[in-house]
Structure 1
Amino acid sequence: MPRSCFCGLPAPYDDCCGRFHRGEAAAATAEQLMRSRFSAFGVGDAAYLLRTWHPSARPARIDLDKKTRWVRLEVLESTGGSVVHTEGTVRFRAHYLERGRPCEMEEHSRFVRLEGRWVYAGTM
């Protein structure tokens, strides 16, 4: 049976965020991009995280902690970010295990379209 997607949507990873990670499709909305970025943390795809980060704020590299396991995502609110917008925000709560200890973080992220594709532009 295919593995469920990390992003929380009821679809197998390969059919959901996996297609974005493989470059077969691009996120149509800011929320979809945010979900795919969460999934990238889940599968350890640092290259995808860098590709979907706005160049003005993109770090030179990302070192993902192998002792952190991303387990659940809650989308709390989103504004704009649809197929007709050029900007959007997504507020979310990410649940993870750090060295086996349950943790969570909440973030209000900003997304913009760059050359027709959604990219992560930082936090609010």
Structure 2
Amino acid sequence: DEIYVELAPDGATWKAVAVWRGAREPRPGNAIIRGHVSYVLAQAPATETSGTDGNSIPCPNCGSAFVTYGIESYFVPEGEGRVLEDQRNAGDLTIDVALGDNGTAAIKQLRLNGEPVYEEPLF
């Protein structure tokens, strides 16, 4: 299933704040990214989730959806992938993403500890 996820700024990154099955206009200052649900776990083991105000709210029937956005992989020079995977797993690697008007996403740049390390050419 195709979904549309609203993203809001969260410091130096962005976070998901809403999700819909159809295209929507984001709130001012936010953006929309289009994704596809890969699979759903009917019930997540957690019993709480974070509310939009940062407080925990009860969520006994929450589930988890696994979503792909078309930005799950990025090709780097041979021999450099393992190092970047280790940095990603440590939480030190982020990406800059360009979003089209229809929510389509494309990786534009990789950043290691906030510094650019790889940039996509225009063509």
By relative contact order (CA 8 Å, sep 6+), the higher-ranking structure is: 1
Higher helix fraction (1 or 2): 1
Which protein has the larger Cα radius of gyration, Structure 1 or Structure 2?
Answer: 2
What is the TM-score of this pair, normalised by structure 2?
0.28
What is the TM-score of this pair, normalised by structure 1?
0.28
